[in-house]
Amino acid sequence: MTIPLTRCQFIIPFAAICDAIGAPTEALLTKFRLPASLEEKPEHYIPILLAIRFAEAAQRSQGITDIGFQAARQLHFGHLSEKMRAIIRFSPTLFIALQQLCKWASIEDTTVSVWLERDGNHVRICSELADTAGVPHLEHSQWLQNVYVMHIVRQFSGPHWVPSTMAFEARYEPSLETRSFWQNTRFISDQNSSWIDIPVSFLDLPNLAVETPAPPHNDDVGPSGHEIVSAVKLMLPSYLDDRIPTIAEIAEMAGISIRSLQRKLSSAGVSYSDLLDGARFENAAKLLRDTNAKIIDVAFSSGYSDPAHFTRAFRRFSGVTPRKFRSKWKLQ
């Protein structure tokens, strides 16, 4: 059992659409327990099911047509994580890039599976989110999954390529306006997975990138070990300067009772307060190392309303005050 998460980067386009039409974006985000300061946290993670509910509520309340499509139109290759971009740019052919995508897709959505299927003279690039069976309005997420894969293909095929078929796992019919945007693309729904297709001949296409940086070496991606613990650790930094979820809300996101969540955390040797304290410390330590932010601002950004409380908590973890920690780090 885990909590499906996605990078904040993928909800930012939905919020931007709301902002552009004067919708009450912040109120909607807050209603669905999402952080209001998304722009500052593109690499952080949030629960994908809450993001989908936010997108659907925005579409319905604001009269937006195909908000998933509208958000996907704003995506480009640069919206993928830095690690994913490096992996793709290092791949000499599209086939190798797609193999790497299948391996590392959880960088973008922690419970997504990506695989390749042969279909005659085409190959389908398929994706599916775990723990989302029967969830309504998944098309909002599936638009982004399909389109960011399309941008990966474009690193080899050129910037104007579009798939001949785009499929959705959701039962969903794109609007006429959406269909007219890619007139040569066939849209189908209610499939076993979401997918786009490419000609088999594309697999040998060379990388169009001018530079091929060294591939990343660490294999530490997405939830591992105790999945619920890993998911909570990934998610908490998004909320430290906002309204931090209660343990009851975390249990609801995971679809289990509070007691079950507490048992799972206990079996991993931690409590929710342990995870929260750890997330606060790691966030504060990173800000102290990497920025010149004032100590009081570091405290607020790490979820502390009282700077003295922050100093005591930080000393418990590190053995030194935040000021001494920064001084020692700068001397290294």
Paired tokens of 139: 């098309």
CB contact at 8 A, 79 and 43: no
Helix 247-254 × helix 258-267 angle, to 10°: 90
Instruction: Give the list of residues 6+ apart from residue 23 with CB closer than 8 angstroms, or none.
Output: 58, 61, 62
pLDDT the model gives residue 226: 63
Measured between alpha carbons, how far is 24 from 19 in angstroms, rounded to an integer? 7
Q: Is the pLDDT of residue 252 over 60?
A: yes
DSSP 65: S
Average the pLDDT over 272-298 and give the result.
93
pLDDT the model gives residue 216: 47
CB contact at 8 A, 196 and 146: yes
pLDDT, the chain, mean: 91
Compute φ and ψ for 194, nearest 5 degrees. -90, 145
Average the pLDDT over 107-124 and give the result.
96
Specify the length of the chain in residues. 332
Structure confidence by residue, pLDDT tens digits, 24-44 = 999 999 999 999 889 889 999
Average the pLDDT over 121-140 and give the result.
93
Average the pLDDT over 51-79 and give the result.
96
Structure confidence by residue, pLDDT tens digits, 145-173 = 999 999 999 999 999 999 999 999 999 99
pLDDT the model gives residue 223: 43
Average the pLDDT over 261-267 and give the result.
91
pLDDT the model gives residue 104: 95
pLDDT band at 243 (very low <50, low <70, confident <90, very high): confident
pLDDT the model gives residue 174: 95
pLDDT the model gives residue 242: 86
pLDDT band at 131 (very low <50, low <70, confident <90, very high): confident
Q: Is the pLDDT of residue 103 over 70?
A: yes
Return the ∠ at Cα 190 (arms to 184 and 196), rounded to 5°: 40
Q: Is the pLDDT of residue 4 over 50?
A: yes
Q: Is the pLDDT of residue 140 over 70?
A: yes
pLDDT the model gives residue 331: 65
Measured between alpha carbons, how far is 15 from 310 in angstroms, rounded to an integer? 32
Tell me which residue has tokens 């931007």: 16
Q: Is the pLDDT of residue 219 over 90?
A: no
